């Protein structure tokens, strides 16, 4: 009996903000590696999500949504991060939201189609479309402008038609030995995920008051016995934002702390003692140095 050779390779997931890139990856990995929210520009870092099965190792690259917004250093950084992810990968999954084809989608499609890897057009959020036959004309509009090797219709949220998509990606991967250990799920540290889980709670709670101007850094992470002691700083841009995050008599911050702690405990599988502080660093989103200091300097590792 001949043993089938294992596959190994990289698949970048690209698309404009909010199309469901992180939701899809979390669904395939069966773990919340990337934070998700209904707000665009949730993902700010390039994250590797490593999916090891008996067929081999599929390494997803989750990217920040490609957007049209100009201006701040953070905005530029997000686009650069996403664009750099389209090179040197075996497969590009280009995600769009069913029945939505905007200028931002076109911009993202241009980036995706520049890749020298195989290109899969993924129509997500199909669950939202009542008359499915409309999808054919929708897809034709995209295909009039861009070329793809395969097309898939999925619902990442409802876990629909994900397996055929996964099969298609594996088909395109080259044969090779795994790059990462079998039990490794990401290239990121626990501290990174902890700060992301806190940022997720901030986005969910203050999505109107704090547009994009929050960031989280971990100041201390110590394991004493069975408890993980974590000190984190929430960075905001203005004094009034600090007041919002803390809330009346510290109530808002307390709730953020409780919810974040629960998420972190679930993620690391241990008890957590979480302490949060709020600090003001004016216009950090506009300051390239501050962006580096907060860990927004992703480099593609291979
Ligand atoms: N109805 C529906 N909603 C979905 C689907 N997939 C994702 N969503 C929702 O779309 C929103 C955005 O999802 P994300 O996974 O954060 O999108 P993203 O593309 O990673 O966004 P950025 O990180 O901002 O670029 C969330 O509210 C998801 O729950 C889907 O298949 N159906
Ligand atoms: Mg995302």
Q: How far is the CA of 248 from the centre of ligand 2 (A)?
A: 31
263 CA → ligand 1 middle, Å: 19
16 assigned binding-site residue:
yes
Binned at pLDDT 50, 70 and 90, residue 290 comes out as low
Give the lowest-confidence range in 58-62, 144-148, 161-165, 293-297.
293-297
Ligand nearest to the CA of 104: 1
- Is 47 one of the annotated binding-site residues? no
Q: What φ, ψ does residue 21 adopt, rounded to 5°?
A: -60, -50
What pLDDT is recorded for position 107? 94
Q: Tokens at residue 217, please?
A: 């850094």
Look over the chain and give the mean of its residue pLDDT values, rounded to a whole number.
89
Cα angle: 60, vertex 218, 183; to 5 degrees? 35
pLDDT higher at 298 or 250: 250
Cα distance from N-terminal residue to C-terminal residue, the chain: 33
The CATH H-level superfamily of 7-172 is: P-loop containing nucleotide triphosphate hydrolases (3.40.50.300)
- How far is ligand 2, taken at its centre, from the CA of residue 69, in Å? 17
Cβ neighbours for 46, distance < 8 A, ≥ 6 positions apart: 61, 62, 63, 64, 81, 82, 84, 85, 298, 300
Decide if 7-172 and 190-293 have a common fold. Answer: no
- Domain residue spans of the chain: 7-172, 190-293
Q: What is the mean pLDDT of residues 31-52?
A: 85
Hey, how many other C-beta atoms are within 10 angstroms of the C-beta on 153? 19
Across residues 20-43, what is the average pLDDT?
A: 88
Q: Which atom of ligand 1 is nearest to the CA of 35?
A: 16
What is the CA 183 to chain-centroid distance, rounded?
A: 20
Share of the chain above pLDDT 70, in %: 91
Tokens matching residue 225: 């016995």
* pLDDT score at 299: 39
What CATH class has 190-293? alpha beta
Distance CA 8, CA 15 (A): 23
pLDDT tens, 134-189?
999 999 999 999 999 999 999 999 999 999 999 999 999 999 999 999 889 998 88
Please, which pLDDT band fits residue 301 given cuts at 50, 70 and 90? very low
Q: Whose CA is nearest to atom 23 of ligand 1?
A: 43
* Minimal-distance CA residue to ligand 1 atom 30: 125
Residues with CB under 6 A from ligand 1: 15, 17-23, 36-38, 40-43, 64-65, 124-125, 127-128, 155-158
Ligand nearest to the CA of 95: 1
Half-sphere exposure (Cβ direction) of 201: Cα atoms closer than 13 Å: 22
| 202-245 confidence digits (pLDDT tens) | 989 988 777 666 889 999 999 999 999 999 999 998 888 999 99
Q: What is the pLDDT of residue 293?
A: 62
Contact between 227 and 270 under an 8 Å Cβ cutoff? The reply is: yes
Query: What is the structure's pLDDT at 300?
Result: 34
């Amino acid at each position: 009996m001949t043993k089938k050779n294992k596959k190994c390779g990289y698949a970048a997931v690209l698309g404009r903000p909010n199309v469901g890139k992180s939701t899809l990856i979390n669904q395939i990995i069966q773990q919340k590696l990337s934070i998700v929210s209904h707000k665009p520009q949730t993902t700010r870092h390039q994250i590797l999500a490593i999916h090891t099965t008996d067929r081999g190792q599929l390494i997803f690259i989750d990217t920040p949504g490609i957007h049209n917004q100009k201006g701040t250093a953070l905005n530029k950084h997000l686009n650069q991060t996403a664009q750099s992810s389209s090179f040197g990968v075996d497969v590009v999954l280009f995600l769009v939201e069913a029945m939505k084809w905007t200028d931002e989608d076109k911009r993202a499609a241009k980036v995706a189609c520049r890749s020298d890897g195989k290109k899969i057009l993924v129509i997500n959020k199909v669950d939202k479309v009542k008359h499915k036959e409309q999808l054919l004309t929708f897809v034709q509009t995209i295909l009039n402008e861009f070329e793809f090797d395969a097309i898939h219709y999925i619902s990442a949220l409802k876990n629909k038609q994900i397996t055929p998509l996964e099969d298609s990606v594996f088909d395109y991967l080259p044969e090779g030995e795994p790059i990462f250990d079998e039990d490794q799920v990401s290239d990121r540290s626990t501290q990174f995920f902890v700060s992301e889980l806190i940022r997720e709670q901030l986005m969910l709670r203050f999505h109107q008051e704090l547009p994009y101007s929050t960031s989280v850094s971990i100041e201390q992470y110590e394991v004493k016995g069975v408890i993980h002691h974590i000190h984190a700083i929430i960075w905001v841009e203005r004094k009034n934002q600090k007041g919002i995050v803390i809330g009346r008599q510290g109530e808002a911050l307390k709730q953020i702390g409780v919810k974040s702690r629960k998420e972190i405990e679930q993620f690391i599988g241990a008890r957590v003692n979480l302490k949060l502080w709020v600090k003001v660093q004016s216009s950090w989103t506009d300051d390239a140095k501050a962006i580096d200091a907060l860990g927004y300097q992703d480099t593609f590792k291979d």
